[in-house]
Chain A
Amino acid sequence: MKGLRARLTGAIAAVLIVGLLLPAGVWGGPKSEFVAVAGMWSPPNNFNPINTDSSYGFYCVRFMFMGMVEARVENNQMKFFQALASKWEVGADNQTYTFTIHPRAAWHDGKPVTAEDVLFTLMTISDPRTETNRGAQIASIAGLDARGKRAAGAQLGFRILEPKKFEIKTTTPVDPTMFLEMFGANVYILPKHVLGDVPPDQLARHPFFHNPTVGNGPYKFVQYKTDQFVEFLLNENYHLGAPNVRRVFVRIIPPATMLAQIERGDLDVSAGFGIGEVLIEDWDRVKGMAHVRAVSFPAPGYQYMLFNFQRPYLQDKRVRRAFAHAVNRPLMVSQLLKGEGELAEGPIPPANPYFNKRVRPWPFDTARARALLTEAGWDFNRTVILRVPTGNIIRERSADIIRENLIAAGVRVEIQKSDFPTHIAALRSGTYDLGLVGWAGPTDPDVSSQYRTGGQYNFSGHSIALMDQILDEGAKTADPTKRRAVYDRFQEVFADELPMVTLYYANARTAVTKRMVNVLFDASGLFDFQTYRWVAGTQ
């Protein structure tokens, strides 16, 4: 009996020791120079280049599908780089755009990418039966209505000049930068020879978008392990040069454990602004890691507090300015964001070429807020409802600060926190006073969809005639210098009218291992810019 027990104990100990040592050998070896791992917080819903519903999807799509150009903001200037197009020309009328597709640009199955594919993509997006979210990107093209759709019998402003050369006409002259960003960088081209026969109303459910084996980008699709990772393999024939990194994994990692993955070296690149960042609590620690570059940069997104304009008591702009004075925004940047952010009064980011430096945010001044409220006849017994969506922990914390600040200014506040769909439903139905939302848009300064009367994302339902007039002028103006003047004016009027209070522009807090070279973020702050140039060294 004794002997048996001793032997059993020995066996268990042996199993334990082997079990504990074994995994240690499996991990910790040097990372191959052929593999890179990127990490983002949530899974992509599909890989449909014209319909994937989030930045998570587009981050993956852009490894496999390209548009005509790639865009990046450098030194406050929007710059364009070749992608599928090797050349693009803007007509003197700012209305005619000619693109030449790279002679070697080809689909992953070897067929050349042609002007026919571009036409097919535009016809698909503008077809009123197609589920897509690219409609607004092409709305300026001639033959389409303002919502990017083709009326029956309308002729698309598109002409095939040569198999790899085409010309697009816009309805009116437009700012070429705007057109290049919208159509050039944000419309990814679909393979006509694969999808050409699919009826438009069945495209969204087509299995191709879960297994997109025929792309045109630097990487080919290998597999998607649901909720875990997407695997890409290099496209040796990529027309701008075969990628250096042979295999790229985009891994889905919850925010809380991203730190562990970075520290262990499991992760090479955090995907970027809004979809793969370092938690604020973990930021100092990541900055201290020897093998990692902690990269923070101004991102094109902001958080804001909107006012419900259906409430008569919020229609007085003195009240709105009082709220702007009451909220301690500097505290949010210095404490909640640990300094990784900026303040601005308006929807044009400080890092944007169109940002008006002369417009300063209203200072934090509780006394001034109280005075303005009194002047506007505010009822200090009224309780306002502040709606807060979950999903962004810093924004949730900012709500607690806003509440305390407003109470200090004499305004009673009740917070109502809910999940995002409920939150948006509440905003749409107008059952709130104040609401927190985040926004990240293109570099183009046309913010009509949010701030024009009746705009699609004008949640607060405001209608400010002067602002409408300026926004319309800005959208119509094709000359970049004149346009800048219009939007300078817009930002001044915005700060005066305050249809919303801009809370902060948070920097993107990202991490890239030092073995990775040429990892650059694009115009939207994602590390998916020219991925074919990524180089991975050994650890």
Chain B
Amino acid sequence: MSEWAPSRTASFWSLAFRRFMRHRLAVVGIVALGMLAIMALAAPLLAPHSPTTIDPTTFQGRPSSVHLLGTDSVGRDVLSRLIYAARVSLSVGILAVTMYVLIGTSVGAIAGYYGGTVDLVLSRIMDIMLSFPPLIIILFAVSVFGRPSLWNVIIVLGLLGWPAVARLVRGQVMALRHQEFVQAARAIGASDPAVVMRHLLPNAMAPVLVAATFGTANAILVEAALSFLGMGVQPPTPSWGNMLTDAQSLTVLEQMPWLWVPPGFMILISVLTINFVGDGLRDALDPSLKL
């Protein structure tokens, strides 16, 4: 790290920050994401009802003054569940993706930079991970961690996600490492970690960021699929994904929009904002894009 000139680093990040702030959609995205986060944290204050309490008088009840967004299939308040679900859905998305981007980036960078035997070994490990049908990895996680839980979901997603990121980073690093600016950095005596961190990764980051933003969105959806298979977040904890599984009937689709529109909308909003932020980050971090 000592090779990093402190002043240069500071200017790089402040420049990046200014660039990011100029990306209007990204700013909107970060504000919206912040609001979602606040909603998640302040759920007990915001929710009009408990997310698990059953109203025996209205099952699948349409929106009313008591239940602003109606009730679900066991008479629970949809609005309250929607608010609480932000906790699960956001933390699954963010934690899982953070986990696999960190692992994937490091493995990919090492493989791509060193090449040769290191690359061969790491690439084969990636191949092995990618060779398992995803459902078998899920089985694996269940067998190792015993019973389904939030962490289980995060670990499954992490296991599933990192090799793809690693391959992406490896490809980018491999393509870049023979370029002049990298050769030059090495020629002036920069250490391997410095070359990777300072020169290669920032240039390889754009596709990873895009992959990560989509990964976050995808994680929210995979969580729904896992809930569907009985390996997701345990009931009665709500997540946007498992709320949507209530909509598995054409009649519900047609006549009970309050069961699927709100969670669908929240998923859409969170996916959109996360992607705007990813977009802005990429523009900010990748100087070569300043035209």
Contact = CB atoms under 8 A, between A and B. Distances in A.
Q: Do chains A and B touch in the complex (CB under 8 A)?
A: yes
A389 B213 CA distance: 34
Q: Interface centre among A255, A260, A279, by most B CB within 10 Å?
A: A279
A285 B251 contact: yes
A279 B142 contact: no
B235 A396 contact: yes
Contact of B250 (A282, A397, A419): A282
B260 to A, nearest CB: 12
Interface of A: 255-257, 259-260, 279, 281-282, 284-285, 328, 331, 335-336, 388-390, 393, 396-397, 399-401, 403-404, 414-419, 422
Interface in B237-255: 248-252
A389 B235 CA distance: 12
B147 interface: yes
Contacts of B229: 390, 419
Given A281-B251, A422-B142, A403 B147 contact: no
15 contacts: A257-B250, A259-B251, A279-B248, A281-B249, A281-B251, A331-B56, A336-B59, A336-B73, A336-B74, A390-B230, A401-B74, A416-B234, A417-B235, A418-B147, A419-B230
Contact of B73 (A256, A397, A416, A417): A397
B53 interface: yes
A504 B173 CA distance: 62
Contacts of B148: 416-418
Report the interface size class on chain B. 20 to 34
Query: Which are the 9 A-B pairs with shortest beta-carbon distances?
Result: A390-B230, A281-B249, A335-B59, A281-B251, A400-B74, A282-B251, A419-B230, A404-B54, A397-B74
B231 A418 contact: yes
Contacts of A417: 148, 230, 234-235
A284 to B, nearest CB: 8
Nearest to A403: B236
Interface of B: 52-54, 56, 59-60, 73-76, 142, 147-148, 229-231, 234-236, 248-252, 256
A281 B235 contact: no
B134 to A, nearest CB: 15
Q: Interface centre among A256, A260, A281, A414, by most B CB within 10 Å?
A: A281
Contacts of B75: 335
Contacts of B56: 328, 331, 335
Contacts of A336: 59, 73-74
B23 to A, nearest CB: 37
B53 A400 contact: no
A419 B250 CA distance: 25
A256 B246 CA distance: 11
B251 A419 contact: no
A259 B253 CA distance: 12
B250 A260 contact: yes
A213 B148 CA distance: 45
Nearest to A407: B52
